[in-house]
Amino acid sequence: MKVTIDHDLCEGHAKCSKTAPDVFEVRDDDLSYVKMAVVPEKFRDAVELAVRLCPRQAIAIEDS
């Protein structure tokens, strides 16, 4: 799956990177980034939880 983050919404709360540290990282600019172009299915549950926990609804999953 492909995971995207809307940087116009992201405020760097880092709930995503704490929930799914293999997938997300918050960098020095206080924005979260997806660490891989295609996220393996084994991370789906963690990514879906991060989507729900993100206070800004900034994370989206695109299924191909």
Give the integer Cα–Cα distance in Å for 57 and 64. Answer: 21
- Candidates 43, 44, 56, 61; binder of ligand SF4 (CB under 6 A) is 56
CB of 63 to ligand SF4, least distance (A): 19
Q: Is 11 in the site for ligand SF4 (CB under 6 A)?
A: yes
- Candidates 5, 20, 23, 47; binder of ligand SF4 (CB under 6 A) is 5
Q: Is 58 in the site for ligand SF4 (CB under 6 A)?
A: yes
